Amino acid sequence: MEILRTPDKCFENIKGYTFDPVYTNITAKDGTKIRVHHIDEGPRDGPLLLAMHGQPVWSYLYSKMIPILNESGIRVIAPDLVGYGKSDKPSQREDYSYQNQVDWMNEWMINNNLKNLTFFGQDWGGLIGLRMIADNPDRFNKVSIGNTGLPYSPNTSDDVIQQVNEFRQSKLKLTPMSMAKQIKQMDSGKTHPALKFMYWQKFCWDTKNLPVGLINSIMMEKSSKIGTSINYIMHVLGIPKISPYFSDLMRAYEAPFPNYTYKMGCRAMPSHVPIIPDISLEAQKKAREFFYEWDKPFLSIFAGNDPVTNAMEQDVLNMVPNAKSAPNIGGGHFFQWTKPKELSKVISDFIKEKI
């Protein structure tokens, strides 16, 4: 396995991210050493929150929440998944799989002897983190998730599976705008969600130099259509930083990737979301059965206005009969950034048993 490591200089002057790095070495199945980064902030004797990010972001997503949670007495550990942020980045598509991410993060957690944890995960942070909990239940006291779940689709029709597979292999060229138009319809109920999510999967894989900064800017900050168009044009030309609309947020999310070769994790992982039956089917079934018997506190915290995951909350509540549901707080898919105070309060109240 070939490993790429982002130079430290790429992370200089990232606005609002002044946390000291902590590194842990893990070992892949083929013996390759992989360095995983995390931040550890807050009172050493405070209750411990493990906060996990998804795709295509990194622990920077929690940078607004961490000071708020620390102020309330909570210690926060936020890792970067392998392939993201300051963690090492395997260079090949086949290096990435759902199971590999679970195995890598399990080893990272065990090597750091993390226990007595409250968990919060969003997007891939939830898909991976919930499997980690099922593998290591004694390390966790409480679980909270938002805009995520444990997708399980054993009964997907052959017609849908065929449409998804044919679409992925088609020569259709997608732009961020044409892809986003389809994704916004995921919770419409008019078509199977897989027939909309496949646009995100195809766009990510087919786009060699995925515009990570631009995608996250569109989802997390206000920008004009003109500004978005100019940013996209500059990205395609390979000169994104020249754009007058290139923001601090875009800079932060492009920082982990000195060039397109570092983006393989961002490109590959969407195709491993099990929206149709795949190699992860049995592992998902086992984890869902585990959570059906879960008897510790479990809180569902969804934005409520994220078309990608709106329909997943009811599935989570069905999967975990013991779960409570917090009121939807808005903020879209990445509500850690758009609703940091609101989300931090819900999590803090959950930890302190006010919910």
DSSP 251-314: HHHHTT-SSGGGGHHHHHGGGGS-SS--TTHHHHHHHHHHHHT--S-EEE---S--TTTTTHHH
Q: What is the mean pLDDT of residues 102-113?
A: 98
- Grade residue 190 by pLDDT with cuts at 50, 70 and 90: confident
Q: Which two tokens stand for residue 34?
A: 């992989």
d(CA 85, CA 77): 14
**Quick check: 336 pLDDT over 80?**
yes
Query: In this structure, what DSSP letter does residue 247 have?
Result: -
278 belongs to the catalytic site = no
The reported pTM is 0.96
Q: Which two tokens stand for residue 155?
A: 């009964």
Q: Are 126 and 32 contacting, i.e. CB atoms less than 8 angstroms apart?
A: no
**Quick check: 197 pLDDT over 80?**
yes
Q: What is the bridge-based pairing of β-strands 89-90 and 3-4?
A: antiparallel
123 belongs to the catalytic site = yes
CB-side exposure of 298: number of CA atoms within 13 Å?
20
Q: What is the mean pLDDT of residues 104-121?
A: 98
Q: Are 242 and 213 contacting, i.e. CB atoms less than 8 angstroms apart?
A: no
What pLDDT shows up at residue 83? 98
The 117-122 sheet, strands edge to edge: 22-27, 33-41, 75-79, 48-52, 117-122, 140-146, 298-300, 324-325
How far, rounded to the nearest angstrom, does the alpha carbon of residue 339 sit from its chain's CA centroid?
16
d(CA 138, CA 115): 8
Q: Which of 286, 281, 283, 319 is nearest to 300 (CA)?
A: 319
The pLDDT tens digits for 12-62 are 999 999 999 999 999 999 999 999 999 999 999 999 999 999 999 999 999
Surface-to-core class of residue 345, CB atoms within 10 Å of its CB (0-12 exposed, 13-18 middle, 19+ buried): middle
Q: Which of 135, 61, 42, 43 is nearest to 51 (CA)?
A: 61
Instruction: Give the whole-number percent of the chain exceeding pLDDT 70.
Output: 100
**Quick check: 223 pLDDT over 90?**
no
What pLDDT shows up at residue 189? 80
- Grade residue 355 by pLDDT with cuts at 50, 70 and 90: confident
Q: What is the mean pLDDT of residues 341-355?
A: 94
What pLDDT shows up at residue 187? 85
Q: Are 232 and 207 contacting, i.e. CB atoms less than 8 angstroms apart?
A: no
Q: Which domains, from first to last, does the chain contain?
A: 3-153+277-351 (3.40.50.1820), 158-272 (no CATH)
From the candidates 103, 123, 192, 272, which is the catalytic residue? 123
The angle, 0 to 180 degrees and rounded to 10, between the axes of the packed helices 98-111 and 124-135 is: 60
**Quick check: 150 pLDDT over 90?**
yes
d(CA 109, CA 86): 17
The pLDDT tens digits for 287-301 are 999 999 999 999 999
DSSP 6-67: --GGGGTT-TT--PPPEEEEEE-TTS-EEEEEEEEES-TTS-EEEEE--TT--GGGGTTHHH
From the candidates 37, 192, 272, 333, which is the catalytic residue? 333
What pLDDT shows up at residue 354? 80
What pLDDT shows up at residue 188? 80
- Grade residue 272 by pLDDT with cuts at 50, 70 and 90: very high
Work out the mean pLDDT of the chain and round it to a whole number: 96
**Quick check: 323 pLDDT over 80?**
yes
333 belongs to the catalytic site = yes
